[in-house]
Structure 1
Amino acid sequence: MQTLSLETPVRTIASELPGAAELFRRSAVNFCCSGDIPLREAAERVGLSPADMLAELEALQRAADREAPQETEPLIDHLLSRYHDTHRRELAFLIPLAQKVERVHGDHPVAPSGLARALVALQDELEDHMTSEEQILFPLMRRGQSTRISQPIAQMRHEHADTARLLQDIEHAAHGMALPAGACGSWTALYTGLRKLTDDIVLHMHLENAVLFPRFENPVAIKD
């Protein structure tokens, strides 16, 4: 992401910095519908110190790069097992759960209307994206090829931006994943799972955009 500062829009931070969305949720910072405002203004709106919030986000940024193996081959294996397999499994669980909550609680003022549809769109986007990585991009990387790799990487970055927009749709449909008083077990399980899924996807994209891809865009940085 661009250099983190008090002028960075909170929507950008939430979609690109692992852990930022959950920090914003806990702090009542709206990064969905009002996400174009800078961090400074967003913090002030909820009565928090902009400098303190920036420091917390910078700590998240430092921690993000240490989340996975540093060598290229183990990092690819980590992305496949920790994220590709996990996203598929969790979406297969969350989509019918969202459909159930929408069906049972559709008349509730904060029912997550449209959430299941947004999750299906995310599932379709991720499946195409991950399959392309598994069948094309990662095999090229494993062979150490850099001459034919720039276009696939550019396409993956473009698709990450599409995924970030879908995550905003999900956040909006789920009303910031704030549970209403007396929410049932299914609704609670849905939002608990959604928080994990969306935060995982942001970390997944960060590891590719900031750690893995630059090694092949700047081949001197490749580590085996």
Structure 2
Amino acid sequence: MSMLDRTLAQLAQELPGATAIFHQYRLSFCCGGEHTLREAATKRGVDVKEIADALSALPGVAKGAKGVDTLSDADLIEFILNRFHKVHREQLTELKRLAHRVESVHGDNPACPHGLTEFLHHLALELEQHMQKEEAILFPMLIQGEGGMAGGPMRVMMAEHEGHVQELARLDELTGGCVPPEGACNTWRALYLGLKAFVADLAAHIHLENDILFARNLKGAFHG
């Protein structure tokens, strides 16, 4: 079935990031998501192909790069910046919006993830500070071939990675393992789908940096 002929509810529940695009084009997907993408876009008077292209470009649809371990440091860093740093910023912005909506509307539901919006806000700040340090200090050193002198900064980043992973345990506690309750609305389901995608992306991000980019540079780094 073509993406255009799938309902907004289906796309919101199956495609992480779709809700941000629907929000951008003011397409209602929560309790009015029974319309197909084609129908909803036509009714709203927006370009159907433009929305479909935006959905097709989402990380969950687009194919990731193959053989990233063979890329040069500069090319691997460019891949990390575009596929993970940029995407995390977009993901967390949308996840905070969805979490706030769920907490506001379903606060009386025993399964409501109370405190999730605040947690995501805190996590986004920490991750933003971390990524900015990589972008401003560490990555330029590696691109310039100065990995041998970057042992200290790389180990600091790896320690922060471990902290991020440990914090995600709190996410499981707040959301019950990101399993939506029976009868959950489309926004709630989209939120948990997006959280699962974010966690998977963060794990892949950390793996690329720790086990490929940093590992090969640490081999030649000065110890001190």
Deviations 1:131-152 (A, max 9, x none): 0010000000001113430111
Counterpart residue identity of residue 106, structure 1: G
Task: Say whether residues 1:189 and 2:190 are aligned partners.
Answer: yes
Percent sequence identity is 38
What does 1:1-224 align with in structure 2 at a 5 Å threshold? 68-71=68-71, 72-219=73-220
1:66-91: CA deviations, max 9, x gaps? 66352222111110000000000111
Q: Which residue of 1 aligns with 2:43?
A: none
Q: Is the 8 A contact 2:113 2:174 kept in 1?
A: yes
**1-side partners of 2:136 and 2:185: how far apart?**
41
SS of the equivalent of 2:147 reads coil
- Contact kept, 8 Å, 1:121 with 1:166, in 2: the verdict is no
Asked if the contact 1:69–1:78 (Cα under 8 Å) also holds between the matched residues in 2, the reply is: no
- Alignment partners' CA distance in 1, 2:147 and 2:210: 16
Deviation at 1:178, TM superposition (A): 0.6
Number of residue pairs matched by the alignment: 157
Q: Distance in 1 between matches of 2:120 and 2:215?
A: 29
Question: For each residue in 1:68-121, what CA deviation from the matched residue of structure 2 results, as whole angstroms up to 9, or x when unmatched?
Answer: 352222111110000000000111111021011011111111111111111111
Letter in 1 for 2:216: R
Alpha-carbon distance in 1 for matches of 2:69, 2:82: 13
Mark the runs of 5 or more structure 2 residues left unpaired by the alignment.
1-64
Letter in 1 for 2:178: M
Secondary structure, aligned partner of 2:95? helix
C-alpha separation between the residues in 2 aligned to 1:204 and 1:172? 23
> Over the residues paired in the alignment, what is the CA RMSD in angstroms?
1.9
User: Is contact 2:148-2:220 (8 Å) kept?
Assistant: no
> Is the CA contact (8 Å cut-off) linking 1:118 and 1:166 kept in structure 2?
no
Aligned to 1:12: none
Computing the radius of gyration from Cα coordinates, the structure with the larger value is 2
Deviation at 1:181, TM superposition (A): 0.8
**Mapped partners of 1:100, 1:68: distance in 2:** 37
Alpha-carbon distance in 2 for matches of 1:171, 1:196: 14
Moved over 4 A (4+): none
Look up the equivalent residue of 1:192 and give its one-letter code: L
Unaligned runs of 5+ in 1: 1-64
Give distance in 2, aligned partners of 1:67 and 1:162: 28
**Taking structure 1 as the reference length, what is the TM-score of the superposition?**
0.66
Distance 2:181 2:109 in 1: 9
Change (3 A) 1:175 1:138: same
> 1:34-73 CA deviation, whole Å, 9 max, x = no partner?
xxxxxxxxxxxxxxxxxxxxxxxxxxxxxxx966352222
Structure 2 letter corresponding to 1:68 = V
